[in-house]
Amino acid sequence: MATFSELGLSAPLLKALTEMGIEIPSPIQEQAIPILTGERRNFIGLAQTGTGKTAAFGLPLLETLKTDVKHTQALILAPTRELGQQIAQQLQLFAKHMPAIRIQVVYGGASIMEQIRALRQTPHILIATPGRLMDLMQRKALSIKDISHVILDEADEMLNMGFKEDIDEILSHTPEDKVTWLFSATMPRDIRRIVSKYMPEAAEVAVNKGGEMNKKIKHQYVVVRESDKMETLKRFIGVNEDLRAIVFCRTKIATQALAEDLKRSDVKAEALHGDMSQAQRDQVMKRFKAGSLKLLVATDVAARGIDVNDLTHVFHHSMPDSLPYYTHRSGRTARAGKDGISMAFVNSAEVRKLKMFERELELKFEKVLIPQNSEIGIIKLTQWAEAVVNTKPIAGNKQIEDKIEELFAAFSKEELVAKMVTIELKKLSIDNKDLNDTRATGDRRDEGGRSDSRSSRSSSTGGTRFFINIGEYDRMSTRELADLIVEQTKLPAGEVTVVKMEERHSYFEVPAQHAEKVPKDFTEYMLGSREIRVNRADQGGSRREGGDRGGYSIRRDGGRGGFSGGRREGGSSGSGRREGGSGGRSFGGGGDRRREGGRR
Ligand code: AMP
C-alpha cells in the first residue's frame, strides 16, 4: 500500500493532508493519482461519493497547476451547488500551503453580480454548476478558452439533471488540447458518448465502494458508553478463545493509554503507533504474528498494510471519521479466505453515523449484545469441570487423602460439587453489569460545549482558553498534550497553544472562531478508561471537581468493578449476542445464546 508521498505528491500537499488527518490513500486515490500526475491524458474514474474521489482528482490538479499563469486553467463541473461547495472546500484545504492558488466556486441561486465581481480575480481553478457557468459565459464574465483541464464530477448526475446540452456547449468552448477527467458512479450510454466524443484514449479506473469490501467480513456493532469500552473488549476476549484482533483508536495517545489499561488487566496487548521507532514496531509485530499478543491497539496509519492472515476481529474502539478508513480497517480481517468480524463500539449518538456508513458502503451492520460476564463464567467453569473430568488421579499421600475423606464424609457428592463450584465462581469475581447502553439512540449526553451565551474570557492572544483534565500526572509534556489536541480537533498545529500545565489539568488556547467546536471534538473522548473533559476556562469547568463522570476527578485505573484478574484466556469461541436474544443474566441461561457468527 503506497503512501501519498510515494504517489508523487509534493511537500505542501503532503503537509496539508497530514493536517487534515488524511494519511492513507483510498483505492481510487492510489490508482488515479499516479496516472493524473504523470503524462497528460484523459481519464475516467468510476467512483462514488465517499471514496475520496475529490482528492483523487484535486491533488493531481493542484500538483500540476502553474501559479505563474494568469488565466483559468482548470474547470470543474459539478451537478449541484452543494457538491460544488464541497469540492471548493476540500481543494482550499488541500491548497492551504499553496498560497498563490486561487479557487472559486460559482453556482445558481446566489447573486450572479457578486460572482462576476469575484471572477475579476481570475481563479486558477473554477468550480461551477453547468447552468450558472452558461449564464456567466453569456455575460462574458469569464473565459475558458485557455483551460488545460476539464473535470466532470458526478457526470451521471449531471446528465440525470438534464445538463446534457449545457455540457456539450461548455465543452465546445474549451481548447482541443485540454485533458478531460470524468468521474461518475455509473457509465450510462450518454456518458460513453461524451467519452468517445471528447476523451480519446482515456485511462480508466474503477472502484466500487460496496465491492471493495470483502464479503467475508461481518459488520457488527455494540452500543456502549465510552467508559465501558475497555470492559467490553475484555468480555469479547472472554467469550472468544481464539480471538486475535486489531483494535483501532483515532490517536496515538489513545492507543497507548488503552494498551496500558489492557496490560494492567492481564490482556496480552501492545500499542502500535507512529511515534514508535521502527525497531519497536518490528518487535511488536513479531510478537503479534507469533501469537504471543492477542490484541494490537493501533492507529489507522500505523496499521497501514498490516498483513496478518488470521485476525478474527477488527474492533473500532472509536469509529473512523471517513469511509476509506472504515474500509481499510475492516480489510485487516477475513483475509486468505477466512471469516472475520469488524465490530464497531459506538455510543448512542453515533448510531446515526453507522447508518451513513451502511448507506455509503452498501453494507449492513448487525447489532449484537455485549456478552454478560455470566456467559464468560459458564465458559470458564465448563473448562474447569472438563479439566477435572480429564485429570488422571496420581497416587497421593495417604495421610492427606484420609484427612480429606474424613472432612468430606459428612457431605453428599452434590453438596461437595456445589461448594467447589462456588469456590471457582468466587475466583472469577463475576460482575454482572450489563454494558449494553440502552439509552435512546441519538440521546447525546450534555457535554462541555454548552451553548449559553456568556462570552468566553479571551486570552492575551485573542484566543479562547480551555480547561482539560490532563496534566503532569499523565506523564505528558505540553508538546504531547498540544499534539493530542491537534489530533483530536484537526486544527492546524500552530493554532493550539498549551499555556499552562498543572498536576491534574492544563489550560490551552485556540483561536476564538473554534470555541464552539473544540469541546464537541472531545465529546466522550477517552484516555484509556478515563473520560476527558474540555470546558471553556471561564465557564466553570475547572471547578467541577471530583464526583462522577461529570467531574474531572482522575482515576488512572478506572476503578470500576469487572471481570478482574488474570484469567482472560480460554472460553468458547462465541461472539456478541444478537439483540433480542433472551436476556437471562444468570448461569445456565446464556450459553446457548451466543452468536454463531463469531465461531471460526
Ligand atoms: P469524497 O469521496 O471526495 O466526497 O470524500 C469523502 C470524504 O473522505 C471527505 O471528507 C474527505 O476529506 C475524506 N477523505 C478523502 N480521502 C481520504 C483518505 N485517503 N483517507 C481518509 N479520508 C479521506
Residue-wise pLDDT tens digits, 511-545 = 888 999 999 999 888 877 678 889 888 664 333 33
The band of 596, judged by pLDDT with boundaries at 50, 70 and 90, is very low
CA of 322 from ligand 1 middle (Å) equals: 6
CA distances from 545 to 95, 468, 469 (A): 44, 12, 10
Same domain, 251 and 307: yes
Atom of ligand 1 nearest to the CA of 323: 8
The answer, yes or no, to whether residue 465 has pLDDT greater than 60, is: yes
pLDDT of residue 80: 86
- Distance, CA of 341 to CA of 287 (rounded, Å): 22
Place 123 in a pLDDT band, splitting at 50, 70 and 90: very high
User: Within this chain, do residues 30 and 126 fall inside the same structural domain, yes or no?
Assistant: yes
Q: What is the tally of structural domains in the chain?
A: 4
List the single range of 167-176, 408-417, 546-555 with lowest mean pLDDT. 546-555
Average pLDDT over residues 444-450: 30
- Cα 207 to its chain centre, rounded Å, is 20
Sequence-distant (6+) residues with CB within 8 A of 341 are 217, 218, 219, 220, 312, 313, 314, 333, 575, 597, 598
Q: Is position 439 within any domain? A: no
Structure letter (DSSP) for residue 511: E
Summarised one tens digit per residue, pLDDT across range 352-381 is: 888 888 887 888 999 999 988 777 778 888
Q: What residue's CA is closest to ligand 1, atom 15?
A: 52
User: 334: closest CA among 597, 12, 520?
Assistant: 597
- Residues 361 and 398 reside in one and the same domain: no
Enumerate the β-bridge partners of residue 269: 295
Q: Is residue 444 part of a domain?
A: no
Q: CB within 8 A of 522, min separation 6: which ones?
A: 447, 448, 468, 488, 532, 533, 534
Q: From 22, 51, 328, give the residue whose CB has the most ligand 1 atoms within 8 Å, as the site to mutate.
A: 22
Q: Which helix (H) or strand (E) holds 206?
A: strand 203-206
The average pLDDT across 59-72 equals 92
User: Which tens digit of pLDDT belongs to each residue from 7-47?
Assistant: 999 999 999 999 888 888 888 999 999 999 998 999 999 98
Of 248-262, 427-441, 483-497, least confident by mean pLDDT is 427-441
Instruction: Tell whether 304 and 197 lie within a shared domain.
Output: no
Radius of gyration of the CA atoms of the chain, in A: 29
Quickly list H helices, 362-492: 373-390, 398-408, 413-428, 478-489
Residue identifier of the C-alpha nearest atom 1 of ligand 1:
52
Distance CA 422, CA 419 (A): 5
Residue 588 lies in a domain: no
Same domain assignment for residues 168 and 48? yes
Domain co-membership, 194 together with 245: no
Q: Are residues 222 and 328 in the same domain?
A: yes
The CATH number of the domain holding residue 562 is 3.30.70.330
In a domain, residue 329? The reply is yes
Q: Are residues 184 and 331 in the same domain?
A: no
Residue 264: domain span? 217-372
Query: Would you say the C-alpha torsion 480, 486, 492, 497 has a positive or negative sign?
Result: negative
Asked if residue 258 lies in contact with residue 270, where contact means CB atoms within 8 angstroms, the answer is: no
Q: Is residue 463 part of a domain?
A: yes
CA distance 180 to 205: 14
Mark whether 88 and 232 lie in a shared domain.
no
CB 265 near ligand 1, within 6 Å: no
Residues β-bridged to residue 151: 76, 181
Task: Please return the burial class of 590, using the count of CB atoms within 10 Å of its CB with bins 0-12, 13-18 and 19+.
Answer: buried
The CATH code of the domain that includes 178 is: 3.40.50.300
Q: How far is 241 from 248, CA to CA, in rounded Å?
A: 20
**Residue where one domain finishes, among candidates 333, 353, 372:** 372
pLDDT tens-place string over residues 541-574: 333 333 222 222 222 223 222 222 222 223 333 3
What type of residue sits at position 505? H
**Bridge partner list, 506:** 468, 501
CA of 19 to the centre of ligand 1 (A): 13
The angle, 0 to 180 degrees and rounded to 10, between the axes of the packed helices 323-330 and 351-361 is 80
CA angle, 91 as apex, 127 and 182 as ends, to 5°? 55
CA 322 to chain centre: 6
Residue 579 lies in a domain: no
Is the whole-model pTM more than 0.75?
no
**Angstrom distance (rounded) from CA 151 to CA 129:** 12
Say if 234 falls within a structural domain. Answer: yes
Give the cell for residue 471. 496534566
Would residue 243 count as lying in a domain? Answer: yes
**Do residues 403 and 323 both lie within one domain?**
no
The answer on 166 and 100 residing in a single domain is yes
Q: State the residue for C-alpha cell 459488520.
A: 219
Ligand 1 contacts CB of residue 21 (under 6 A): no
| CA–CA separation, 49 and 94 (whole Å) | 18
Do 43 and 181 reside in the same domain of the chain?
A: yes
Alpha carbon of 210 to ligand 1 centroid (Å)? 16
